[in-house]
A = this chain, B = another copy of it.
């Protein structure tokens, strides 16, 4: 499949690497086509990887991953608006307020009674936003089996059932066990999963090594 990965940070390149490994064609999108991180990444691979602007990548992908830093996500997606129209946007971004210093907090307008997932869906009503993978370390996103043979929870939410089914299939291709993908309903569920970052950082400070959350029942 042709897949766009918007964002050249650790999340974007980790996701892109895995998708290329699985045989997909990936275009990395960034603000500028001459983005050094994107070019460096693409040069590591053969023709399966290319790079372009956010808009070029969005047009290229049948599915688009949003791995842009939360505070820039809406603005960056606006520059790719026509490209993401009617497509599935897998949103992994967290609306961290980098202006507020430590301890880390969320952007006030994008938490509690709102979320980045919802805000993206409101701004791009023709795009099918599916929030997932945003509650864990980068490497766990693409290697769930490195913890407890993959027996921990990946939350998913979004308004379009068909879009969620397609994303679930892609998650299974990546290595997620079907029974560990927990569907929280519509995109409003992002309020809960994005807020996990406040807890996540505390668990990170209190434990040693890679961890994740599991819903037990």
Q: Mark A129-145, 1 if CB is under 8 A from B, else 0.
A: 00000000000000000
Taking a contact as CB atoms under 8 Å apart, the answer to whether A210 and B199 are in contact is no
Task: Specify how many copies of this chain sit in the oligomer.
Answer: 2
Interface band, chain A: 35 or more
Q: Mark A112-126, 1 if CB is under 8 A from B, else 0.
A: 110000000000000
30 A-B contacts (beta carbon < 8 Å): A100-B113, A103-B191, A108-B112, A147-B216, A147-B217, A155-B199, A157-B202, A182-B206, A182-B207, A183-B206, A184-B202, A184-B206, A185-B206, A189-B202, A191-B198, A192-B196, A192-B199, A192-B200, A192-B202, A193-B199, A195-B196, A195-B199, A211-B217, A212-B215, A212-B216, A213-B213, A213-B215, A214-B214, A214-B215, A214-B216
